[in-house]
Amino acid sequence: MKNKVCQSCGMGLDQENDRGTNKDQSKSDDFCIYCFNDGEFTKEDLTFDEMVDISLRYSKAYQNAASEAEKNHIKDLTKDYMSGLKRWKKKDDGCDCHHCHCHK
């Protein structure tokens, strides 16, 4: 599991205890304990922008930014990074909602 990150929030999944659980209680290879439990997202209705805001709360770089311009730059980088994670990646069917779970 080296260098693996949660495909919802981007948190590292370096430790077994960091990983969420599937319906059969096996450990998820894709999602952390904060985002995924018993085979479901813990916050099913969470939007992409809400997840970005949550992630920025834990970002020391964002919290210590010297200016609003620097904060905006860090937020843009975070959005770019997170838009590539499985939960938020755009689907090829033209939907632009950033909720892959709406395509089940």
7 in any annotated domain: no
Q: What is the pLDDT of residue 103?
A: 38
4 in any annotated domain: no
Q: What CA–CA distance (Å, rounded) separates 54 from 67? A: 20
11 in any annotated domain: no
5 in any annotated domain: no
Predicted confidence (pLDDT) at residue 96 exceeds the cutoff of 70: no
- What the block records as the tokens of 58 is 């834990």
Q: What is the pLDDT of residue 36?
A: 98
Q: What CA–CA distance (Å, rounded) separates 72 from 75? A: 5
Q: Which residue has the tokens 């964002």?
A: 62
User: Considering its fold, how many domains does the chain have in total?
Assistant: 1
pTM value is 0.80
76 in any annotated domain: yes
What three-state secondary structure class fits 72? helix
List pLDDT tens digits, range 18-60.
999 999 999 999 999 999 999 999 999 999 999 999 999 999 9
Q: Which domain holds residue 33?
A: 16-103
59 in any annotated domain: yes
Return the beta strands (E) in the chain as ranges.
19-21, 27-32, 36-37, 40-41
